[in-house]
A and B are shown apart, each in its own frame.
Chain A
Amino acid sequence: MDSNASLSELIRGLQAAEFSSVELTRDYLQRISRANGDLNAFITVCEESALAQAERADQKRAAGAGTALCGIPMAYKDIFCTKGEKTTCGSKMLADFVAPYDATAVAHLKSAGVVMLGKTNMDEFAMGSSNENSFFGAVANPWDHDRVAGGSSGGSACAVTAGLAAATLGTDTGGSIRQPAAFCGVSGLKPTYGRISRYGMVAFASSLDQAGIFAASAADIARVLPFIAGVDPKDSTSSDHEDGWLNLHRDQALQPAGSGRIGLPREYFRDLGVTDATLQATCRTLEAAGFTLRDVSLPHVDAAIPCYYIIAGAEASTNLSRYDGVRYGYRCENPQSLEDLYRRSRSEGFGTEVKRRILTGTYALSVGYYDAYYLKAQKIRRLIQQDFLTAFNDVDLILAPTTPDVAFRRGDLLDDPVAMYQQDIYTIPASLAGLPAISIPAGEHQGLPLGVQLIGPHFAESTLLETAAAFQRETDWHRRRPGGTD
């Protein structure tokens, strides 16, 4: 079958028994074994268990049972705990860690009959914007192997582009789904904070971390979201927001929206640079499809990056305290004392970027600095949230670039962390506000994909996906793949 078949097409094919899940899974596993050496999208490939799951899915389907996703092969970012398979989080610290339980999102997909092909590469502990911070090596961008795939969910984005999985799970703390989706030319949804349980997702910054989905199109994402969204008694911050729309789309394809009001933040549109032509063209397409555009203002977004790096760093600094070499994970050789055990296990087990964030976060929480950094950042966070709430009085969604530019060359920003952090300038505000946002392919520059981002009010995933689908009905950016369309 076609390596670029969309998830929706695969669902139809399985339902019509045009092919079995075992055939489909074998196909994906073959492509992975051919391509992964160059792309490095997967840290772990679960060949045997994937085929066993596929067999069970086929039996279920043959018995007339099974959900729409039964037998669909997917892959999960290696931040989701998977019982019996390694969960490394891209770190030497957890290089051999096997969780005794499944993350809630994984458990939901498992019971829906989804086949797990493997675990995808990522920046260590989800800290990074290029996937160069992985202990297991960088992920190549399928459009140009010398360029980065983006991060931190680089492997999950790359896998969808390269046809190594029909859809993948990622996580987004400050842009870790949307930015790699844009760099790799696929669609990536970061749902509302709390929409999907964080249980079993290795924590980076708890108040920002959110699981999400990569697929070729918004329509494909809409097929997966209903299965993993919803309240989880194991996660106090998961939302019990009721949503009939979600239940409906367990079995039903997405209907593109025909109208809506879309806001263009002045602060972003003043100086778009490389992304200008793509944003302008997107505006024209949306207008032609029945949407109205109007200017909005997000006056505090210029403070978003420092605010984010303080809050995320503070939370990360304590979330990562458990990796101490005592109970599990990496332990240094021959510790001489307790202090030596801590110091060397953590110095040797964590990479440079992780250490940098632990240090900045620890600093921000320290006596004497807490008010000036952590508390101030929380205040700014509330101002940014308020900016969005105000804007959503006038519009249904906000349009913005996803990234300032196309994927950069590997190694280019490694020595300049601040320039690296600037990559997230357009994605961080929605993360701080806990808002759902989707990046969809909308243009290109020098033969590399560019994405645009739609940001919605809390729990407006339906509007986001239906609007993105309307755009994708009018354009074919999402169908383009390296080496030619389709």
Chain B
Amino acid sequence: MQWESVIGLEIHVQLATKSKIFSGAPTAFGAEPNRQACPIDLGLPGVLPVLNEEAVRMAVKFGLAIGAEIHPYSVFDRKNYFYPDLPKGYQISQFAQPIVGRGSLQVHVAGEPSLTVGITRAHLEEDAGKSIHDAYAGLTGIDLNRTGTPLLEVVSEPDLRTPAQAAAYFRQLHSLVRYLKICDGNLAEGSMRCDANISIRPAGDTELGVRAEIKNINSFRFVELALTYEIERQIELVESGGQVDRDTRLYDAERNETRSMRSKELSNDYRYFPDPDLLPVQIDGAFISAVADELPELPEARYARYVETMALSEYDAAWLTQDPDTAEYFEAAAELAGNAKTAANWVMGELSAALNRAELGIADCPLPAASLGKLLQRIEDGTVSGKIAKSLFETLWQSGGDVDAIIESEGLRQVTDTSTIAPIIDEILAANPDQVAQYKAGKEKVFGFFVGQVMKASKGKANPQQVNELLKARLAD
């Protein structure tokens, strides 16, 4: 039988506010355990939450970016359950009335038509702390630094059909929140965490099958791997006469498999009810339009502009627009270079390779976009050759400096003066009479040898075009 998988993702986006969603404690990652937990985060008796308006602004920004309705009235609820890293015994979340309503996201998967993924809702909530199981033998440590960090939980419709689509959607959402500057997008530090709901059904069926939920996946690749594994598991199970249980599972990346969590957690009754400590969030049109004014160009629009206005290939446009910092860098370099394609080639080629070698992100790139742009400009105007430019790039990467100053001081200017090149050619031809004879006998491959020798003798500064022309003329004599 042909099976179809149906996938929906719930992605927790950690909002990049300076302080927590209901307290003034800082949200920075990596502090000593429990150093960034104030009495409110600790759930001491008598403390009260106060909503951080910045978190609301970021949620609205997200809502506008996915074309969603921003609910003028939304409510914080208490989700009640006991866990040691949940200090109050409840999590403040939004249940019945979330801040962001239905919207959608365009997703591109290579070789497939562009896909519109529905987003059911997005709501604000506070993160829990962390239980640390491996620090003390036989004991569990509690770190409440993360407690109260604002999260935006983005719930998609079950519109995804393949693990590749799911990963692409996750990637696209990652790209969007980075563009909006509402999340640092650092997956390794847990800034975006994904729960995947997955079920299978006979291809063509419209009814949904029983779904399993895979919790807490923190990379694009693992989403794809976990779903691929889970789909195979469900198909095997059903084809061998079994049935899929409504189940919560964890992905084990080391073994590349999903495993069932304790199923009794599923029967939790969270006893949601409106938190009486917080007023309903009321958002008016003025607030929404102020946030709308801050919206940057979104990835989708930038992609279209690169393809249509800059005449880049779809592949290049997708590559360059994925990350907003990369796109900013590229645009700055392209503007100085005066040639988008050259800039795209260099950013995706030399620069990307150098960054990878140094294990750096674009934000930490030692070479400013202006320097690369200037360098590309000097290729475009013929001041240096492409080859010289590559070694100049290395110099700039290693020790920085002004492009023009280095060209002058190192004497890297491309030689375009015939009277300088001609004697070199004569010298080379005179020194290699055998090769000249071979060429004249019809062995044209030798021509490349002459070009190489001339370039070498000019220390790479001769204009290759000119060298070609002059050589051809002299050899024709």
Binding site for B on A (CB under 8 A): 80-81, 87, 89, 94, 97, 99-101, 103, 198-203, 205-207, 233-237, 314-315, 317-318, 320-322, 324, 326-328, 338, 342, 362, 365-367, 370, 374
Contacts and interface: CB of A to CB of B under 8 A. Distances in A.
Interface stretch (B85-93, B371-379, B447-455, B457-465): B85-93
B237 interface: no
Interface SS majority for chain A? loop
Given A100-B39, A237-B279, A374 B50 contact: no
18 contacts: A87-B46, A94-B45, A199-B46, A200-B47, A203-B46, A205-B276, A233-B50, A236-B277, A315-B276, A318-B78, A318-B89, A322-B89, A327-B87, A327-B142, A366-B269, A366-B271, A370-B273, A374-B273
Given A236-B278, A321-B80, 12 more contacts: A198-B48, A199-B46, A200-B47, A201-B46, A202-B46, A206-B275, A236-B277, A236-B279, A320-B89, A321-B89, A322-B43, A366-B271
Interface in B237-293: 269, 271, 273, 275-279
Interface in B42-90: 42-51, 78, 80, 82, 84, 87-90
With a 10 A CB-CB cut-off, give which of A87, A89, A318 has the most chain B CB atoms: A318
Nearest to A342: B82
B273 A365 contact: yes
Given A101-B39, A206-B277, A322 B50 contact: no
Contacts of B89: 318, 320-322, 324
B48 A234 contact: yes
Interface in B185-225: none
B271 A318 contact: yes
Contact of B84 (A203, A236, A338): A338
A27 B269 CA distance: 55
Contacts of B50: 233-236
Interface residues of B, number: 28
With a 10 A CB-CB cut-off, give which of B87, B88, B89, B269 has the most chain A CB atoms: B89
Contacts of B269: 366-367
A362 B46 contact: no
Contacts of A338: 84
Interface SS majority for chain B? loop
Contact of A321 (B42, B88, B275): B88
A99 B44 contact: yes
A234 B39 CA distance: 12
Contacts of B78: 318
B48 A322 contact: no
B46 A81 contact: yes
B416 to A, nearest CB: 70
Contacts of B278: 236-237
A366 B87 CA distance: 21
A203 B47 CA distance: 8
B8 to A, nearest CB: 23
Top 9 A-B pairs ranked by shortest CB distance?
A: A321-B89, A207-B276, A206-B276, A365-B271, A202-B45, A200-B46, A322-B43, A81-B46, A367-B269
Contacts of A200: 46-47
B45 A322 contact: yes
Contacts of A103: 46
Contacts of A317: 271
Given A81-B46, A321-B88, A327-B43, A237 B277 contact: yes
Contacts of A314: 273
A388 B462 CA distance: 95
A326 B90 contact: no
Nearest to B50: A236
Contact of B45 (A99, A234, A315, A374): A99
A362 B276 contact: no
A234 B48 CA distance: 7
B125 to A, nearest CB: 16
Interface in B4-45: 39, 42-45
A97 B90 CA distance: 21
A235 B46 contact: no
Contacts of A81: 44-46
Interface in B323-379: none
B273 A328 contact: no
B90 A321 contact: yes
Contacts of A233: 50
A203 B48 CA distance: 9
A326 B142 contact: yes
B40 to A, nearest CB: 9
A326 B87 CA distance: 8
A326 B80 CA distance: 16
B277 A100 contact: no
A122 B51 CA distance: 32
A370 B90 CA distance: 17
A100 to B, nearest CB: 6
A342 B89 CA distance: 11
Contacts of B49: 236
A236 B51 CA distance: 8
A432 B87 CA distance: 29
A367 B268 CA distance: 10
Contacts of A202: 45-46
Contacts of A100: 39, 44
A328 B44 CA distance: 8
A236 B271 CA distance: 23
A342 B90 CA distance: 15
Contacts of A235: 48, 50
Contacts of B277: 203, 206, 236-237
Contacts of B142: 326-327
With a 10 A CB-CB cut-off, give which of B48, B49, B78, B279 has the most chain A CB atoms: B48
Contact of B48 (A94, A236, A320): A236
B135 to A, nearest CB: 16
A320 B82 CA distance: 11
A165 to B, nearest CB: 21
Nearest to A375: B273
Nearest to B140: A338
With a 10 A CB-CB cut-off, give which of B46, B82, B87, B276 has the most chain A CB atoms: B46
Given A87-B45, A237-B279, A370-B273, A326 B51 contact: no
A317 B43 CA distance: 15
Contacts of A315: 276
Nearest to A202: B45
Nearest to A361: B271
A408 B49 CA distance: 39
Contacts of B84: 324, 326, 338
Contacts of B275: 206
A237 B50 CA distance: 9
B48 A199 contact: yes
A342 B83 CA distance: 10
A181 B214 CA distance: 57
Contacts of A374: 273
Nearest to B85: A326
Nearest to A100: B39
Nearest to A367: B269
A22 to B, nearest CB: 30
Contacts of B48: 198-199, 234-237
B52 to A, nearest CB: 11
A49 B44 CA distance: 24
B46 A322 contact: no
A321 B276 CA distance: 15
Nearest to A199: B48
B96 to A, nearest CB: 11
With a 10 A CB-CB cut-off, give which of B45, B48, B84, B142 has the most chain A CB atoms: B45
